[in-house]
DNA sequence: GTGCTTTGTTGCGAACTTGTCACCTTTCCG
DNA sequence: CGGAAAGGTGACAAGTTCGCAACAAAGCAC
């Protein structure tokens, strides 16, 4: 539990009612997710870009910029385009309207909803994303590369690869955010410590070491010039 | 019991006395097993590899290659290493000698034995091996290492190992989470008390003591550098 | 009490990890 | 093309981790 914190899916909850946020956050945490919250669209967009959450729960009704707009912007921005979005709507008939707009949220749920249902839908979306149908969420499998977090084990085409603790964490974080670019700063925050004073070039060194050890599977580690690194979509 | 033959467990009986083989085979078949037999070590090894039986009943006294030798070879060969072995010995005192050799048969039974007892032991071993359905959940068996939690008893290849209370708890916790890395903090919480103020290095010391006492079975205690310890998957 | 076992702590050294730097190579762009 | 910026690479020194042994304290039987 403690050792695997860094791969717990991180979920951004966007809602302007603190009570709703609390309720959702409580249930999500109980289900083993990390939670971060935003009260309005502006903060939501900022956090989505900076913290690179694995999924966003987005209330349709928001002050200032409304949920629809936020959704659209998130989809347009490459840094956040891939993140699944679950829309919260107050009334059922709104769903139809929203669907008609085709703005590409991945699921919809109407208030009031049972926390259990929300958790189920979130798990579903995350599972779908990780390709592992019905698979263990702690185990990432991308073609010949398998990352087993609780076991702290990585294999490439069935062959075990020996990674150090840092390398393992770096690979896990990248793999978990497959397809999304992670800036060096973002990686330093998530793989190293919260406010690490480490040089960003250090990330490059670790990427190099990972590539060396991963052999064939190194092809997954894309460099995005001027931005950061990305775990290849496939 | 079982309707389709191919799911009946197949048992290889190795004994040089045809009468003994007949007796055993008769009783095993009556109990719903398929039986194949070998009169000596050489044939036994060949059949073990080719027919991949679910369990082997092995007489200690054999012409040419003796039972001990056969047992050792079976254990070393990856194709047969996982097959449970029940050793037949002519006299009770031989059991001690055999145990001393630590060659990892899974059970021992002395001649003369009641067929019913043999069948019981075989069923036990098979049950335990198959993911422990209906098996004793308080008893962990990993190859030659047996941890009997309620009895506070640990044996390696049939030989009892004397562990202190702390050592026993540590081993049990690790074994129960086989394959998953446990951080030192996690272990301190689970093996020691909830909010123990004990130094994490203490865990190392206990691991060392465990390894010392477990002898051959120490190979199960993996160190995962920078993370913690893990009970090896196999 | 005395002697024995258990258990937590400490110090040492070897092996491993890891952040940084200097130096290349590649890419970008006018 | 030429220069600048970004990223790859190898080396290295400082830091960390872990096994081990010795020690000290606590518990326990007699």
Would you place residue A2 in the very low, low, confident or very high pLDDT band (cuts 50, 70, 90)? very low
Most confident of A133-142, A144-153, B93-102, B219-228: B219-228
What 3 state SS string does chain A have?
A: CCCCHHHCCEEEEECCCHHHHHHHHHHHHHCCCEEEEECCHHHHHHHHHHHCCCEEEEECCCCCCCHHHHHHHHHHCCCCCCCCEEEEECCHHHHHHHHHHCCCCCEEEECCCCHHHHHHHHHHHHHHHCCCCCCCCCEEEECCEEEECCCCEEEECCEEECCCHHHHHHHHHHHHCCCCEEEHHHHHHHHCCCCCCCCCHHHHHHHHHHHHHHHHHHHHEEEECCCEEEECCC
For residue A211 the two structure tokens come to 């590539």
Q: Is residue A134 part of a domain?
A: no
The set of residues, in sequence order, having a beta carbon less than 8 Å from that of A40 and lying 6+ positions away, is A14, A16, A62, A63, A64, A65
Q: Is residue B46 part of a domain?
A: yes
Cβ of B185 and A1 within 8 Å? no
CA distances from A26 to A1, A34, A36 (A): 17, 10, 11
**Tally of structural domains, chain A:** 2
Q: How far is residue B185's CA from residue B198's CA, in Å, rounded to a whole number?
A: 10
3 state DSSP class of B134? coil
ipTM of the complex: 0.65
CATH of residue A179's domain is 1.10.10.10
For residue B205 the two structure tokens come to 């010391």
CA distance B77 to chain A (A): 20
Cβ of B226 and A165 within 8 Å? yes
Q: How many CB atoms lie within 10 A of CB B230?
A: 22
Are B145 and B91 contained in the same domain?
A: no
Specify the pairing of strand B221-224 against strand B182-183: unpaired
The set of residues, in sequence order, having a beta carbon less than 8 Å from that of B171 and lying 6+ positions away, is B147, B154, B163, B210, B214
CB-closest option in A150, A164, A166 to B181: A150
How many CA atoms within 13 Å lie on the side-chain side of A188? 15
pLDDT in tens, chain B (234 residues): 433 444 567 899 999 888 889 999 998 988 888 899 998 888 888 888 777 788 999 888 777 667 777 877 776 655 565 678 888 877 655 555 555 344 556 677 777 777 777 888 888 777 665 544 434 456 677 888 888 876 678 888 878 888 988 999 999 999 988 888 999 998 998 888 766 788 999 999 999 999 999 988 999 999 999 999 999 986
Write down which residue in A98, A129, A160 finishes a domain. A129
Are B114 and B154 contained in the same domain?
A: no
Write down which residue in B64, B98, B129 finishes a domain. B129
Are A18 and A62 contained in the same domain?
A: yes
For residue A212 the two structure tokens come to 């060396």
Only one residue has tokens 């941890």, namely: B147
Q: How many CB atoms lie within 10 A of CB B89?
A: 22
Q: Is residue B191 part of a domain?
A: yes
Q: How far is residue B225's CA from residue B234's CA, in Å, rounded to a whole number?
A: 19
Q: Is the CB of A205 under 7 A from strand C?
A: yes
Q: Based on the number of CB atoms within 10 Å of its own CB, is B30 exposed (0-12), middle (13-18) or buried (19 or more)?
A: exposed
Nucleotides of C under 7 A from a protein CB: 5-11, 16-22, 27-28
Please tell me which residue of chain A has the smallest CA distance to B227.
Answer: A165
Structural domain that includes position B31? 5-129
Contacts of A152 in chain B (CB under 8 A): 181, 224, 227, 230
Q: Is residue B172 part of a domain?
A: yes
Cβ of B226 and A150 within 8 Å? no
């Amino acid at each position: 539990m403690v050792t695997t914190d860094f791969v717990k899916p991180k979920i951004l909850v966007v809602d302007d009612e603190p009570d709703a946020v609390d309720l959702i956050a409580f249930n999500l945490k109980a289900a083993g997710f990390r939670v971060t919250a935003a009260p309005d669209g502006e903060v939501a967009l900022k956090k989505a870009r900076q913290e690179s959450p694995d999924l966003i729960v987005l209330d349709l009704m928001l002050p200032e910029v409304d949920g629809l707009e936020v959704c659209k912007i998130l989809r347009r921005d490459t840094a956040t385009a891939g993140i699944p979005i679950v829309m919260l709507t107050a009334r059922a008939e709104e769903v139809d309207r929203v669907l008609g707009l085709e703005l590409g949220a991945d699921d919809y749920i109407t208030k009031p909803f049972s926390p259990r249902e929300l958790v189920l839908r979130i798990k579903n979306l995350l599972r779908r994303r990780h390709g592992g149908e019905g698979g263990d969420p702690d185990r990432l499998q991308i073609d010949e590369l398998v990352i087993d977090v609780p076991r702290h084990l990585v294999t490439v085409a069935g062959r075990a690869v020996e990674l150090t603790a840092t390398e393992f964490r770096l690979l896990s974080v990248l793999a978990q955010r497959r397809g999304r670019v992670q800036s060096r700063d973002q990686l330093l925050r998530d793989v190293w410590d919260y406010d690490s004073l480490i040089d960003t070039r250090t990330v490059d060194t670790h990427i190099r070491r990972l590539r060396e050890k991963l052999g064939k599977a190194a092809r997954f580690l894309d460099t995005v010039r001027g931005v950061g690194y990305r775990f290849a979509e496939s």
